[in-house]
Amino acid sequence: MKNRLRELRAGRAWSQADLADQLGVSRQTVNAIETEKYDPSLPLAFKIGALFQLHIEEIFTAPGDLSV
């Protein structure tokens, strides 16, 4: 799944570890999401959205989704 997590994190000058701490996950999980090797669970996606004050559709897009 495509995502803007790295861009959003960098915009706040947070390290992967900073973001991981705020989400209650490991830095490796943040890295795996950013590199599109892991799709977050729906509860984690909503937590990410809430943290950045965005709808999850503004952060994550399915492959082949032409709406963005």
pLDDT digits (tens, 9 = 90+) for 20-64: 999 999 999 999 999 999 999 999 999 999 999 999 999 999 877
- Asked, for residue 60, whether it belongs to a domain, the answer is no
- Asked, for residue 39, whether it belongs to a domain, the answer is yes
Structure tokens at 22: 């705020």
Output the pLDDT for position 66.
Answer: 58
| Residues contacting 56, CB < 8 A, separation 6+ | 45, 46, 48, 49
Q: How many distinct structural domains can be found in the chain?
A: 1
CATH of the domain at 30: 1.10.260.40
- Asked, for residue 43, whether it belongs to a domain, the answer is yes
Output the pLDDT for position 22.
Answer: 98
Which domain does 25 fall in, by range?
2-54
Output the pLDDT for position 49.
Answer: 98
